[in-house]
DNA sequence: ACCGCTATTCAGTGATACTATGTACTTGTA
DNA sequence: TACAAGTACATAGTATCACTGAATAGCGGT
């Protein structure tokens, strides 16, 4: 979600749909909103309310500096963890003993 | 941990050390044991207690059928999620609107 | 007797994922 | 004008999870 928001201002309902298009087909709105709430709480996003002509007002999120830093940290950790997991998957383990 | 155990019978303390060798240098024993407890609770492992000549008895874990199935499911999910995350990382998002 | 390494357990904290439900705005239509 | 359908957000509640810190204990060597 941080990455999705980093690509440009967006709002909860749209994030849900993007996740579904990405392949996470069973993501429901509730899940996404609990996460946007957390992003707010942790002050990783700036918020702007804009009215929509097809429904109730949308709450747009935009990464602030802290959010961008958090995203960078995420990607570093992702690189680390995913490389280790793939290493574990492919390689024989060294067994001491 | 399921994958590590699947490579052959092992016990908590040794798993901790293997994880550290893998690069997860700050893993402490407490963390590993809470997970082994969960594996027990969920009946994914068979257990055998064996005495050691360098310390207290070791509790060896071995994946049972349910554990192997769980591990397969894990790897399927890992393939799915990691490919999606990497896709998200590398690709421009399609923006409707 | 005690230190250091080996080895397990458990109580407690805080974060996280997810669901279910409720609310509300807009457009189209029967 | 009632209501269905799509859009949009909020939140209480449940279950799980990750991690820490502290306690306990067995063994070998000094």
In which band, very low, low, confident or very high, does the pLDDT at A97 lie, cut at 50, 70 and 90? very low
CB contact under 8 A, A21 and B89: no
- pTM above 0.85? yes
CB contact under 8 A, B88 and A4: yes
CATH class of B1-96: mainly alpha
Domain ranges of chain A: 1-96
CA closest to C1' of D10 belongs to: A33
Residue segments in chain B with a per-residue pLDDT below the cut of 50:
96-97
For residue B20, give the H/E element and its range. Answer: helix B12-22
Interval B12-34: pLDDT, tens = 999 999 999 999 999 999 999 99
Interval A20-59: pLDDT, tens = 999 999 999 999 999 999 999 999 999 999 998 888 999 9
How is the beta sheet containing B58-63 ordered, strand by strand?
B10-11, B58-63, B45-50
Note the pLDDT of residue A96.
47
Distance of B35 CA from D18 C1′ (whole Å): 9
What's the whole-number average pLDDT of chain B? 91
DSSP B42: T
């Amino acid at each position: 979600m941080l990455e999705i928001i980093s690509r440009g201002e967006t709002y909860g309902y749209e994030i849900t749909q993007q996740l579904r298009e990405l392949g996470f087909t069973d993501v429901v709105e509730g899940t996404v909103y609990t996460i946007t709430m957390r992003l707010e709480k942790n002050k990783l996003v700036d918020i702007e309310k804009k009215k929509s002509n097809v429904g109730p007002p949308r709450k747009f999120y935009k990464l602030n500096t802290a959010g961008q830093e958090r995203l960078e940290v995420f990607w570093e950790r992702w690189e680390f963890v995913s490389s280790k997991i793939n290493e574990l998957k492919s390689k024989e383990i060294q067994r001491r003993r």
